[in-house]
Amino acid sequence: MKSLQIKRNLLLLLLAAAMMLGSCRKDNDLFKGEDNFITSFTLKIGETIFTAAFTDSTITVTAPEGFSLDSAKAEVKLSENASIYPDPSEITEWNDEMQFVVKAYNGTQKIYRYKVDRKSIYEQNSVVLTTQADVDAFGQQGVTEIGGSLIIGSTAGTDSITSLAALYRLKRIDYSLIINPTYAARDVVGLDNLSTIGDALQVQSVDSLSSLALPKLETVGSIYIKSTGPLTVDFPSLSKVSKSLDLEVPLAGASFPALREVGGKVTYYSGTNSATYLPIISFPSLKQAGSLMFYYFTNVTKIELPELEKTGDIDLMNLPKLYEINCAKLQMASGTISIPATSSLTEVSFPELVICGGLKVETKTINTLDLPLLKTVSGDISVSYASLDGIRSLTSLTEVTGELLLGELPKMNGLGIPASLKNIGKLTLNNRTVVAPAEINVKGLNIGELNLQVGAPVKLIGDDIFKGTLTVNPSLLTTFPTLEGFKEVDSIGFGGYIAYINDLQIKGIEKIDKGFWMPNNNVRIFSMPDLKEVVGDFTINHFNQVTQPVVEFPKLQKVGGSFNVKVESTDVTTLQFPDLSSIGGDCMIGTGFDNRCLSTLLFPSLATVGRKLTIYAESYPAYSNTRIVDLNGFSALKQVDSVEVNGQAALVSFEGLKSALSSFTAANWSASNNAYNPSYSDLVVGKWTKP
């Protein structure tokens, strides 16, 4: 029995062994050795562990901006019996992308790409760093973005900050970067990765600064730099300034090679008393700017704007060595292009310019205007002192909405404008030191105002109906222009006191559509023999120097507005308007005073005065008119709204107003301080003359 039991046990052991052997053979049959996966990947540097994420065949480690993964230790787990090349344990530089090859047991391979995803470190609030210790401590935080402003230094105090190297991780400032005067370094090092400033870059009176370079800055709201310089600025990546670019500093150099757009003004201003060093102003990529202003750079020889297509003003001032402006592609300048009076330019060339807000040229050396496509100017054109025959070369110009001023042009003969130009808001011809052309022909032109500021006799030729104002500068003229045409004008203007015209004869004008106004003057002899109608007001301020005994407008028949004439001459005795039949508004006549008195008023055809007739002595009550004895010169008057007569010390008869009595009431009659002062009742009962 015992032997049988032993045999049974032995049989069971053999059976178990066989079963185990079969199981092993089955497992070996399932293992094929084809897996080539990385199952986990971590980097450890110090106490910090970075665990990678997997997407298909990409290994991504996320780390803060500016945080170096170099010298990290890698721990990598693979599929069973797989191998990896290169060996992660032998790698120490983990900041850059690389590839790994994982090889399965059976020899199949899979390639993994390793990369680092940098995560920004965001500081929400504004940051103020007033000392070097503040700068260094903030730099250790590794901040890459600031939601507010970054303010470096203080507005006053001891210089304390010498380096910004600790801020090398910073990439973005949502509001402003302000560098205050206590920044003590000669350059700015440490902001090399800054790409965006949401609002302003301001450098406020940092006089120690000689170089400012922000190599990766791409966009900024505005730039304002002010210091005593000299300063070199370099913005190689800057493409857009949303608002203004303002450099108030003697620039030694300025580089903006990628700048394409400035929303507001571009201003270079060295200061009127500062030494200037910049030889060339250059914006090689700039296409659009709100305006361009370059002032007081005494060594600038060229302005290079080869890609500029659109701007507002171009304002240049005191650039004595400037001899070239390159704006080959400029098509629209909505503001005024101002060429400096102090320069070495001989040519003004904008070959593609079509629309311009204004043009101002005051440079004696200019002998060429090259604007062949310019069609309209919405503002003013002013060309003075240049060696030009006016603006004849602007052969496409059709309209100047504002003023066209041609002044002191020694080579201009006649009216120096192109045949294409037909519409001019105001045409001013100014010749003080240069002899004016003897003849000016404006026939066929639509001119709002023709303004002559010339000191020599000139003949004006125009259409019979000139729908504009004819203005002369009385401080220069010695004679009124000779007119051919001009039978009807919109108005006649005198700019102020008429100082030098002794013999003022305005011949040929028959109708004035608006008003006629004669200012204070030194005129000795006056005549306007052809005037028949003034639609608006008629005003002669005074004729106190006139020597002729009679001031007469022999053909004037109608004044649509008010009539206001004062004569205060010792020689004039008679004011005579023989054909004047109606005045639409008031009629006011100043008869003089003391020994400057009129003795006769002759208005024999005047039938209607729309409002009030006033006859007065200008200096009453101190002085009165002592010569007029009657108003018989108004015997044709039948209609007047009211009458006032005062200050006529010799006046004894009002019979000349008899025909008008029924047209006004007692309330509208006044006679005072005359030799005879009848009441309205006296007139009604026929007491027109002093008893």
Q: Are 116 and 63 in contact (CB under 8 A)?
A: yes
Q: Tell me how far apart the alpha carbons of residues 188 and 33 are, in angstroms, rounded to a whole number.
A: 59
CA distance to 225, 232, 233, 277, 498, per residue, from 252 (Å): 14, 5, 8, 5, 53
Top-confidence residue, 48 or 632: 632
Query: Is the Cα torsion angle 417, 421, 423, 425 positive or negative in sign?
Result: negative
Percent with pLDDT over 90 in the chain: 74
- What residues are paired with 653 via a beta bridge? 630, 689
Tens digit of each residue's pLDDT (9 = 90 or more) over 199-255: 999 998 888 899 999 999 999 999 999 988 789 999 999 999 999 999 999 999 999
35: pLDDT strictly greater than 70: yes
CA within 13 Å, CB half, 27: 6
Phi-psi region of 81 (alpha: psi -120 to 50; beta: other; left: phi over 0): left
Q: Residue 434 has what pLDDT?
A: 80
CB neighbours (10 Å) of residue 9? 10
Structural tokens at position 624: 């009165």
Structural tokens at position 42: 């971590």
28: pLDDT strictly greater than 70: no
What is the 3-class SS of 495-559, one letter each residue? CCCECCCCEEECCCCCEECCCEEECCECCCEEECCCCCEECCCEEECCCCCCCCCEEECCCCCEE
Q: Which of 229, 331, 233, 353 is CA-nearest to residue 283?
A: 233
Model confidence at 20, pLDDT cuts 50, 70, 90, reads very low
Tens digit of each residue's pLDDT (9 = 90 or more) over 282-295: 999 999 999 999 99
Tens digit of each residue's pLDDT (9 = 90 or more) over 318-364: 999 999 999 999 999 999 999 988 899 999 999 999 999 999 999 99
Q: Which residues of 169-198 are buried (b: 16+ CB within 10 A; e: fewer)?
A: bbbbbbbbbbbbbbbbbeebebbbbbbebb
Segment 498-508 shows an average pLDDT of: 80
Q: Residue 56 has what pLDDT?
A: 86
Tens digit of each residue's pLDDT (9 = 90 or more) over 438-473: 899 999 999 999 998 877 788 999 999 999 999 887
Structural tokens at position 75: 């721990």
Structural tokens at position 516: 């006629």
Tens digit of each residue's pLDDT (9 = 90 or more) over 91-129: 999 999 999 999 999 989 999 999 998 777 888 899 999
User: What pTM, to 2 d.p., does this model score?
Assistant: 0.79
584: pLDDT strictly greater than 90: yes
Query: Is the Cα torsion angle 537, 542, 545, 549 positive or negative in sign?
Result: positive
Phi and psi of 98, rounded to 5°? -160, 175
Residue 442 makes CB contacts below 8 A (sequence gap 6+) with: 415, 427, 450, 460, 461, 462, 466
Percent with pLDDT over 70 in the chain: 93
Q: Which of 95, 93, 149 is CA-nearest to residue 125?
A: 149
CB neighbours (10 Å) of residue 409? 23
Pairing type for strands 368-370 and 347-349 reads parallel
17: pLDDT strictly greater than 90: no
Q: Residue 430 has what pLDDT?
A: 86
Model confidence at 16, pLDDT cuts 50, 70, 90, reads very low
CB neighbours (10 Å) of residue 137? 12
- What residues are paired with 609 via a beta bridge? 583, 640
Tens digit of each residue's pLDDT (9 = 90 or more) over 76-85: 999 899 999 9
Tens digit of each residue's pLDDT (9 = 90 or more) over 143-192: 999 999 999 998 888 878 999 999 999 999 999 999 999 999 999 999 99
Q: Which of 114, 77, 76, 72 is CA-nearest to residue 93?
A: 72
What proportions of the chain, in percent to the nearest 5, are helix, strand and coil? 10, 40, 50
Q: What's at 27, amino acid-wise?
A: D
> For all residues of the chain together, what is the average pLDDT?
90
Following DSSP, what letter does each residue of 90-144 receive, concatenated?
G----SS-EEEEEE-TTS-EEEEEEEEEEE--EE-S-EEE-SHHHHHHHHHTT--
Model confidence at 15, pLDDT cuts 50, 70, 90, reads very low
Segment 424-441 shows an average pLDDT of: 87
Structural tokens at position 46: 């110090």
Tokens 């110090």: give the residue: 46
Q: Tell me how far apart the alpha carbons of residues 534 and 5 are, in angstroms, rounded to a whole number.
A: 154
Structural tokens at position 307: 């890609």
Q: Are 538 and 562 in contact (CB under 8 A)?
A: yes
Residue 497 makes CB contacts below 8 A (sequence gap 6+) with: 474, 475, 519, 520, 521
Q: Which of 354, 390, 355 is CA-nearest to residue 369?
A: 390
Segment 39-47 shows an average pLDDT of: 90
Segment 517-545 shows an average pLDDT of: 89
Top-confidence residue, 530 or 501: 530
Phi and psi of 261, rounded to 5°? -145, 135
Segment 385-399 shows an average pLDDT of: 95
Q: Residue 634 has what pLDDT?
A: 98
Following DSSP, what letter does each residue of 21-77 receive, concatenated?
HHHHHHHHHH-------EEEEEEEETTEEEE-EEETTEEEEEEETT---TTPEEEEE
DSSP 649: T
Q: Residue 476 has what pLDDT?
A: 62
DSSP 648: B
Q: What angle (nearest 5°) sits at the alpha carbon of residue 533, between those of residues 529 and 536?
A: 125
